[in-house]
Structure 1
């Protein structure tokens, strides 16, 4: 039996070579498998790092990039409110679109009166919010109405001190309601009646015309006479 399974020297060499080849193949295959696993691990571990690079500097889910917020600049006022006084049809406060000029304010206040001295008014001047525009009459040398901002609206017209003093003489044809109320015994209701009379008759021809206004009798007129003129 032992002689049947004995190997010749040549067969033993061949068998040893086969075993060696098999061992080398096993080692090579094992090394390749280990290398493939490492490559796969590298791909998986590197994949998340690509996402931050793609979103750098761009918009995020939470909103737009910094510095692209809404404009917060202050809006420009859309209107101007001015007080028109003097030789106009309807003295008073008017509201106009921003950028309007003096000529538009006069039109809104009923237009210039027949005796208005428009040569002393800069009709092309842009209006300023809160100002008073005064239109002098032909031959008028002083401004009886207080101009708080010192702006008479026309060249050569002097400004008043900011409030009507007790010794100021008021022009019945130029005064507005606020100025009339500075006169002795004149309240809001009576001031409106004086303006209504002036609008109906065009102007006061003489201070004695005040006697035609309802509510002004001889006693009240005596107090008013030294304080008014036409």
Structure 2
């Protein structure tokens, strides 16, 4: 039987096998590159520092600023309403009111006390009601001092209601201290009969 040229059995299989190997290697290489890129991105995200956003009202914010209003009465030269700094003390309020009068009882007030907004300060005269509302030594007669008493104290006088008490305080703020009980006649609504009714319970 004549011999024929027959190609080797494994020759036609060699090229497809190599082709499949090349495709598989490319897929594996792609997966490796992708995994490396993802891992690098994660590492970068972890290594990146996070920014701190300041919150409103934290300690880094500046302290609030403003003014406080105080009402100064009693044994001062110019009783009235004054606007002071937030860190003001009672001595600052007294100074704003022109200082104290000669008969002021400074032992009855704490000049170093820190003030608060909206408070009323009464500097008493010697023997009158002190700032705290406690009768000072020697004021055991129970009479109301027209120059230092607040509205509640004035209303304890005979026939003095809220309206007249407010008028007495207003007159005191506008005109200064009462020099005598008779000065009440200058307050609108107070006449001779009312004055006589309250004379024994009032003093200056």
TM interval, short-chain normalised: 0.5 to 0.7
Q: Within 5 Å, which residues of 2 pair with 1:76-225? A: 78-91=66-79, 94-108=82-96, 110-117=97-104, 119-120=106-107, 121-129=109-117, 132-137=120-125, 140-143=126-129, 147=133, 168-195=142-169, 197-198=171-172, 202-225=176-199
Q: Relative CO higher for 1 or 2, CA cutoff 8 Å, sep ≥ 6?
A: 2
**How far apart in 1 are the matches of 2:89 and 2:46?**
54
Pairs aligned (count): 197
**How far apart in 2 are the matches of 1:127 and 1:215?**
35
Which residue in the other structure is 2:26 paired with?
A: 36
- Over the aligned positions, Cα root-mean-square deviation in angstroms equals 4.4
Structure 2 stretches lacking a partner, 5+ long: none
Structure 1 stretches lacking a partner, 5+ long: 161-166
- SS for the counterpart of 1:194 is helix
**How far apart in 1 are the matches of 2:33 and 2:118?**
74
In the superposition, the TM-score normalised over structure 1's length comes to: 0.59
Q: Does structure 1 residue 70 correspond to structure 2 residue 55?
A: yes
**How far apart in 1 are the matches of 2:131 and 2:112?**
23
- SS for the counterpart of 2:72 is strand
Answer with 1 or 2: which has the greater Rg.
1
Question: Aligned in 2, Cα 1:133/1:58: closer, same or farther, shift over 3 Å?
Answer: farther
TM-superposition CA deviations, 1:18-73 (whole Å, max 9, x none):
x58966963555534432232123334554454444333758xxxx77x8561455
Q: Within 5 Å, which residues of 2 pair with 1:54-65? A: 54-56=44-46
